[in-house]
Amino acid sequence: MKKYIILILMSLVVFSAYSQEENSVDSKTTKKLTKQQKLEQRQAEEEATAKLVDWMVGQKRFVVEADYLSNQTGERINVSSMLNFIIVDSSKITIQIASTTGIGGPNGMGGVTTEGSISRFEIKKIGKTKNSYSIRLFTMTTLGSYDIFLNISPNGNTDASLSGNGGGRLNYHGVIVPIKKSRVFKGMSI
């Protein structure tokens, strides 16, 4: 009887050790699979974003939502992307800068909002794989004419440089989004 009990106990120990070994292999395999799945998912998302950027640029309909503004010397400040933006809607443009305090300014939000038209729209594909964009806009707004240079990467990151007749330059740093998905708040136009 003792032999049977010892034999059963030994079998249980061997069986449990084998099952632990099998589970550890499964967890390693699972980690590899999840890493591979995450990588594939990230690549699919990047491809989808690149196609969306391509579509927005092709349609000439997008919003540059700025997270930072900078001047020609490179001084950067954090800003609200809901209040600081450039809307390109085929041949129309809206440019806004505003403050989160909302104090002062002709737009009622501590800044300026102007609308106008785009007289020329030049698009060039740049980069080794030709998947980034360099865009130049010639615009006429109620505040004057502006040259706007946009550099747009396939992931939507965008730098926009705005220069007017009076000298100086204002740079928007952020992302482009479709007009319908944009969450910007437009103030009173001049």
Query: What pLDDT sits at residue 3?
Result: 65
Task: Residue 149: name the closest of 166, 131, 170, 180 by CA.
Answer: 170
| pLDDT > 80? residue 160 | yes
* 16 vs 71, residue with greater confidence: 71
- Tell me how long the chain is: 190
Tens-digit pLDDT profile for residues 11-35: 656 656 555 544 455 666 667 668 8
- Confirm if 98 and 92 have CB atoms less than 8 A apart: no
Judged against a pLDDT cut of 90, whether residue 74 lies above it is answered with no
* pLDDT for 165: 79
Q: Report, as an integer, the average pLDDT of 48-64.
A: 95
Write the CA distances from 17 to 4, 8, 11, 173, integer angstroms.
20, 14, 10, 57
Model pLDDT, residue 26: 61
Tens-digit pLDDT profile for residues 97-141 = 998 887 778 888 889 999 999 999 999 999 888 889 999 999 999
The helix or strand, by DSSP H or E, that contains position 34, with its residue range, turns out to be helix 2-59
Checking if the pLDDT of 40 tops 70, the result is: yes
pLDDT number for residue 105 = 82
Q: Model pTM?
A: 0.80
- What pLDDT is stored for residue 166 in this prediction? 78
Mean pLDDT across 56-72: 95
User: What is the model's pLDDT at position 28?
Assistant: 67
Strands 92-97 and 76-78: unpaired
The predicted pLDDT at position 22 comes to 47
Alpha-carbon gap, residue 8 to 154, rounded angstroms: 64
What pLDDT shows up at residue 173? 97
CB atoms within 10 A of CB 70: 17
Q: What pLDDT does 4 receive?
A: 61
Residue 58: how many other CB atoms lie within 10 Å:
10
Between 37 and 19, the more confident residue is 37
Q: Nearest-CA neighbor of 150 among 163, 138, 136, 165?
A: 136
- E strand segments, the chain: 61-71, 76-78, 85-89, 92-97, 112-126, 132-141, 144-152, 157-164, 170-177
Average pLDDT over residues 61-65: 97
Distance CA 57, CA 161 (A): 17
Q: What does the pLDDT average to over 40-45?
A: 90
